[in-house]
Amino acid sequence: MIVSGERKISYPGIKERIAKVVSGFEALGLCDGAPVGLMLRNDFAFFEASSAASNLGSPVVPINWHLKAEEVAYILIDSGARILVCHADLLPQIRDGLPEGLRLLVVATPPEIAAAFSIAESDARVPEGHENWDSWRERHSPSRELPQRAAPMFYTSGTTGRPKGVRRQPMQPEQVAASERVGAITYGVKPDDDQVILMNGPMYHSAPNSYGMMAFRHGCEIVLEPRFDPEELLQLIERHRVTHMHMVPTMFVRLLRLPDEIKSRYDLSSLRFVVHGAAPCPVHVKQAMIAWWGPVINEYLGSTETGIPIWHSSQEALAKPGTVGRVIEGGVVRIIGPDGKPCGVNEPGEIFMRQMAIADFDYQGRSAERAEAGIDGLVSVGDVGYLDEDGYLFLCDRKRDMVISGGVNIYPAEIENTLIGMAGVRDCAVFGVPDDEFGERLCACIELEGSANLQASDIQSYLRQRLANFKVPKEIRFLETLPREASGKIFKRKLRDQYKA
């Protein structure tokens, strides 16, 4: 059963819906390999569309629902998606950027999601003149049952800030079996087990998506939290006797800030396996969560490109404070120095890794960039770290420019490229600075043209019109001149150093 607010649907019920969507997609001419765009919050329709497209050999392209028209248009055009399934309340922010010829299917925003995001009732309804997802689906007869064959295609920004689609090759039977074993290790999700999964992270992200879809394939009870709220999370755990969750460190921080009387109010004894990733977790936060919830906290390290090759348990976290884990089945990790040679024990270098249990990938339309992404089939995302004498991996640093705020990867180059087009801005530098709640927040240092008179609010307003709100720097500083290296490139390290303790 899948639960969202007061709504519930059984597995037989949702599988019948999926069979109808398969027929509907076929009627729209969806052919093997053609992507389907999804701009949906966590909802029944997400599972319906994802499974139906996969059954037809077509990857879904989950789109971050914070994105605006130009950003969404780029992903739809680059991926080649000719169908988009979208929640009604999200349509206004992207309508002006929809490519010509796109078939749009609109899902009414359900009441629990509308309440969580303060969406007006009128905005939650499917607008007149648009195809209603439920009505469209019910016009089709159930198709034959087909095996799921295609993995989702996620868009991840590179160092240039231009999103790239990560498209995986079809999984062979032995890879499917190995992938399920890895999922049992990293996520704790297993078939034929009495598990209740609480989904509190958006499934447009690769890790929550793979977590939620694995739970769905195994027939677990899934509870959808429309929007993360720390006390509501505790309420849901108690009410539904939740056993498994996927989280990010920012959620831990917000939970730990709850008053003691609230933290002690709820029965959390059902929890068996909580896994987190997406961003480094401070040691004191990890230890406080283990002290509160018990040794149920687990951690992984991976990325959209690499899969998950690294994992560790609560016991290992306490024994090796600060580690991000060690290799598991199918995982390969190499530490390579500046000279291109492998590093020794406790010697930092660039981390190259990959989970070999999953199929290799290509960047959509950019095979040359995939070939340049690593060595010997392994991939580097720019992290620097070392392996200790017991094979545990520790991070020292990471890609210089990428910012991880609340578990979300943000690439400053995209923001800088947008900002430099604003009248009055001569040059700019965007980077991450420490933040107690989100891990990092965005800061923009701006050098103005001589006669320009801009305020921080002007900068933020300009960016909000063009980029997702989470890409808009919370801190704006105006400098007479930006520090530069001898080459003329802005010296971001000098700007960042001002924020170090």
128: exposed, middle or buried (Cβ count in 10 Å: 0-12, 13-18, 19+): exposed
123-169 pLDDT tens trace: 999 999 999 999 999 999 998 767 667 888 998 865 445 788 888 87
Average pLDDT over residues 51-80: 91
Say yes or no to pLDDT of 427 above 90.
no
458-500 pLDDT tens trace: 999 999 998 999 999 999 999 988 887 544 567 787 888 777 6
Count the Cβ atoms, other than its own, within 10 Å of residue 353.
Answer: 26
Question: Measured in Å, how far apart are the chain's first and last C-alpha atoms?
Answer: 49
Between 14-23, 134-143, 389-398, the lowest mean confidence (pLDDT) is in: 389-398
Q: What is the pLDDT of residue 407?
A: 79
Go through the domains of the chain in sequence order and give each one's CATH number.
Answer: 7-150 (3.40.50.980), 403-497 (3.30.300.30)
25 residue type, one letter: F
Say yes or no to pLDDT of 202 above 60.
yes
Between 186-190, 337-341, 344-348, 394-398, the lowest mean confidence (pLDDT) is in: 394-398
Between 143-152, 336-345, 374-383, the lowest mean confidence (pLDDT) is in: 143-152
Let me know: does 41 contact 69? Beta carbons within 8 Å: no
Residue 8's contacts (CB-CB under 8 Å, 6 or more residues apart) are: 1, 2
3-class secondary structure, 196? strand
Confidence of residue 412 (pLDDT cuts 50, 70, 90): confident
pTM for this entry: 0.82
Per-chain mean pLDDT for the chain: 88
Residue 496 CA, distance from chain mean position: 26
Say yes or no to pLDDT of 450 above 90.
no
Count the Cβ atoms, other than its own, within 10 Å of residue 239.
Answer: 12
Residue 12 CA, distance from chain mean position: 29
Confidence of residue 399 (pLDDT cuts 50, 70, 90): low
Residue count of the chain, please give it.
501
> CA-to-CA distance for 158 and 160, rounded, in angstroms?
5
Say yes or no to pLDDT of 104 above 90.
yes
Q: What is the pLDDT of residue 300?
A: 94
Residue 258 CA, distance from chain mean position: 25
Which tokens go with 177? 């079996």
Confidence of residue 177 (pLDDT cuts 50, 70, 90): confident
> CA-to-CA distance for 179 and 211, rounded, in angstroms?
12
